[in-house]
Amino acid sequence: APKGFIAPNVEVKPFSAAFDVVAHELTHGVTASSARLNGYPFSDAGALNEAFSDMFGASTAFFYEPIGTAPLTASYTLGRDLAVPAGALLIRSLSDPRTTRDPDHYTQRIIGGDPHYNSTIASHAFYLAIEGGANRTSGLAVQGVGAANREQIEKAFFRALTVLLPSNATFALTRAATIHAARDLYGAGSNAERAITQAWDAVGVQDRIAPTATMLPNPASSTAAPCGGLQPSWNLGVTVSAGSSNLRFTQWVWDIFNHNGALEEHDTLSPVDFSQFFRSCGPGSTTLLAQTDACSSVCVSFLSGDSRGSTQITFTAVDDAGRTVTFATPRVTLR
C-alpha cells in the first residue's frame, strides 16, 4: 500500500518483504501435506493451522536472521518488516499477544471467530515453552528450555503437526500431541516435556473430560435464503466435541420449538446419518476419537412458517467403557 494509506507516513510492503511471513505461508504447504488441519470456522483446527504457520514462520526467521529489533532481524512478532518504518504494522505477537489485541488464554477465544485471532493461544504456548515467563491472564509461570534449546520445542511441535495430529485436531489434542512428541524425542520427564506441559497449563488448555456440543450463533438471526424451500430460515454451525473417551454414536435427536416453546418437529437420526452429516470437520464416521471434533452447518426452518422459536440437538453415544452418554447443545434462540 502507498505511504499514508494505512497510517500517516507509513508504507506497507508486499507480504514477500517479510521473511517470517513467507515462511508462515510455506508452512501452510507443510500442513496441507501432513495433518491437513481443517479450516471449518467452528472448529479449533483452523486456528491451529494458523498457529503452526506463525510458530515456524518465527522459527525460520530465528534460524536465518540475527535476533534484534532492527529491520530484517528475527523476533516473535510476525510481520515487523511489512512496513516502513519497521514495526509500524504488526500482524501477531507470539510473546505478548495482547499487544496485537489477540488472546493469550483459551478463555479469550471466540468460537467461530477468525482463526488468525484464535491462533495466538497455541503460538503463545510455543513461545512460553521456549523462552519461559508468566502468562498475563492466568499468572502461571513457565520454565522454558531457553533460547539456546529452542530446537527441542520446535522439533516437538513439528512432530506433532506432521506425524501425530489428525485433520480435526483440537487445542486439547494438540496439547497431548506436543507433550507426547517431547516424550518421544527427549524422554519422559525431560525439560522439553516439562516446559510444554507448563506452557499449555499457562494458556488454559487442558485435556477435555466430558463430551460437549455447541450450536452457534446463539441467538441466531434469520436469513433470506430458503431452507427446504421455506422462509424464514436460520443458518447455524454445530460442533460435537469428544472428551477423554472415544465415542460411538448410536443416535441423535433434532428438536425444533415454535415461538410458544411447543415442540414442532422431533427428528431421530441414525449413526449413519451422523457420519454423513458431520464431515465438515471430522472423520465422516460413526465414531469420534477422544479430544477431537466433528462439525457441520445446519439450516433450520419452520413448517408452520413461524418467524421465531428455538432449536436443540441431543446426541447419544457409547464410550470406551461401554457406558451410554447423552449430551446436548444449548437451546438456540431463533429470532
Bond prior to 283 in cis (omega within 30° of 0): no
Q: What is the band of 70 on the pLDDT scale with cuts at 50, 70, 90?
A: low
How many Cα neighbours within 13 Å face the side chain of 43?
Answer: 30
Residue 294's nearest CA partner among 314, 274, 322 is: 274
Residues 306-322 pLDDT 10s: 889 999 999 999 999 99
Q: What is the DSSP letter of 330?
A: P
Q: How many angstroms separate the CA atoms of 51 and 162, rounded?
A: 14
Higher-confidence residue of 87 and 219: namely 219
**pLDDT for 85 beyond 60:** no
Higher pLDDT, 206 or 19: 206
With a cut of 70, say whether residue 1 has pLDDT above it.
no
In this structure, of 134-143, 147-156, 303-312, the range with the lowest mean pLDDT score is 303-312
Share of the chain above pLDDT 70, in %: 91
All structural domains of the chain: 11-202 (1.10.390.10), 212-334 (2.60.40.1470)
Cα distances (angstroms) measured from residue 69 to each of 15, 77, 89, 151:
19, 10, 14, 22
Residue 314 pairs in a beta bridge with 253, 328
Pairwise CA distance, residues 199 & 330, whole Å: 31
Tell whether the model's pLDDT for residue 254 goes beyond 90. Answer: yes
User: 43: which 3 cell numbers?
Assistant: 472448529
- Residue 2 confidence class, pLDDT cut points 50, 70, 90: very low
Active site residues: 25, 116
Task: Spell out the residues 6+ positions from residue 45 whose beta carbon is closer than 8 angstroms to its own.
Answer: 37, 38, 39, 167, 168, 169, 170, 281, 293
Angle at 83 between CA 82 and CA 87, to 5 degrees: 95
In 3-state terms, what secondary structure has residue 167? Answer: coil
The more confidently predicted of residues 69 and 211 is 211
For residue 196, give the 3-state DSSP assignment. helix
Predicted pLDDT of residue 266: 96
Q: What is the reported pTM?
A: 0.85
Residues 41-59: tens digit of each pLDDT: 778 999 999 999 999 999 9
Query: Which residues, other chains included, contact 155 with Cβ-Cβ below 8 Å and sequence gap of 6+?
Result: 181, 185
Q: Is the pLDDT of residue 7 over 70?
A: no
- Kindly report which listed range (78-87, 126-135, 193-202) carries the lowest average pLDDT score: 78-87
Using DSSP's 3-state secondary structure scheme, residue 84 falls into: strand
3-state secondary structure at position 182: helix
